[in-house]
Amino acid sequence: MSQTDPVYQAYPWLSPQWNQWQQLSGRLGHAYLLSGPKGIGLHAFVNAVAQAVLCKQPQNGQACGQCTSCHLFVTQQHPDFSQLRRLEDKKDITVDQVRSLIYKLNETSHQGGYKVTWIDGIEYLNQSAFNALLKSLEEPAQRTLFLLTTHQVDRLPATIKSRCQQMNFTPPAMPDAISWLHNQAPQVDEALIKRALRLNWGAPIQALDWIQAGMFDEDNQWNNDLKQIQSGRKTASQSVTEWLKWQQPERVFDYFYQWSVSAVRSVMYQTNPDAPVPSNNQVQNWLRFQQAVLTAKQNWLANANKELLLESLCLEWLSIQQSEEPLETVFQSRIQKGKLA
């Protein structure tokens, strides 16, 4: 997507939200909460909105791309635009970051128009930072616009939600996503496109990144490793050691989750009357394993022992291949000390 392309042309599924924004632009509020999954263009949308608000001569609600303000914005030098996000080495957005932002917002606008602030990952504000931000949301400076984005809206306190107008973003329908990816990567066959979308939760941009990064090789390695674990030619520990060397080893959870989805779907949409029918115990185990994968991923994000966690997940997968006994998972809703801590 170039700086001059309308965001709704680059990502057609954003057209409803863009039209909604155009209806609001003549009577802007002071704070908007934009929520949606990763990989569908949420950040591109916010950039387009911020640039249009700061533009000196917008055209049909779109930034002109030619004025001084647009030039400053594109080169990331606009003095009236602030972006706040979690620092790479930090767990949270801190109160000191918020206080520095508020100090800047209290200054006079350099360009004589709006001051726009984008808080990327509002869910990462710690409690002190939330409290510091609330006053500015309640009593914003004149011609100040807050754009708050989150991929985890359920983590936000009601005090933040109630002070913002909300816009929700969702992935496009699967046929639309497939069509878009065909246009972006015409050399890729449809089977791989569908696999990329499933592994990236239907998010087209993230799926395209997955394809362009050659992640199908990683996917193939994971599948081959499982076959070798099941046949006894490789141990779970050996496979996990290799997975942990990946740039994003947490992708293993997406692979396992999609495996469980496909297993359950194969029963629900069975069209071959001669195919073996899994027992009810097997299906129940697939569903239990699916929940275990989600909980394991939460434990990973909570800094559980990563090697032990993945090995345990592998062994649980292996156990439901070898037995129809009900799966007894070690992955509970909270990390259990002595098991995964």
Question: Rounded to the nearest 10 degrees, how much is the dihedral formed by the CA atoms of 262, 226, 230, 198?
Answer: 0
**Are 225 and 81 in a shared domain?**
no
Does a structural domain hold residue 331?
Answer: no
Does a structural domain hold residue 182?
Answer: no
Q: What CA–CA distance (Å, rounded) separates 217 from 204? A: 19
**Are 119 and 42 in a shared domain?**
yes
Does a structural domain hold residue 202?
Answer: no
**Are 22 and 154 in a shared domain?**
yes
Does a structural domain hold residue 103?
Answer: yes
Residue 76 sits in a domain whose CATH number is: 3.40.50.300
pLDDT value, residue 195:
92
Does a structural domain hold residue 198?
Answer: no
**Are 221 and 120 in a shared domain?**
no
pLDDT value, residue 334:
47
pLDDT value, residue 273:
63
**Are 160 and 12 in a shared domain?**
yes
Does a structural domain hold residue 207?
Answer: no
pLDDT value, residue 5:
66
Does a structural domain hold residue 115?
Answer: yes
- In terms of phi and psi (left: phi > 0; alpha: psi -120 to 50; beta: otherwise), the region of 60 is left
**Are 44 and 120 in a shared domain?**
yes
Please state the φ and ψ torsions of residue 231, each to the nearest 5 degrees: -85, -10
Domain count, the chain: 2
Could you tell me the residue range of the domain that residue 55 belongs to? 7-168
**Are 134 and 244 in a shared domain?**
no
**Are 143 and 219 in a shared domain?**
no
**Are 150 and 266 in a shared domain?**
no
Q: Which of these, 246, 249, 226, lies nearest to 314 by C-alpha position?
A: 226
**Are 117 and 221 in a shared domain?**
no
Does a structural domain hold residue 209?
Answer: no
Q: Which residues of the chain have pLDDT under 50?
A: 2, 334-341
**Are 41 and 136 in a shared domain?**
yes
**Are 281 and 145 in a shared domain?**
no
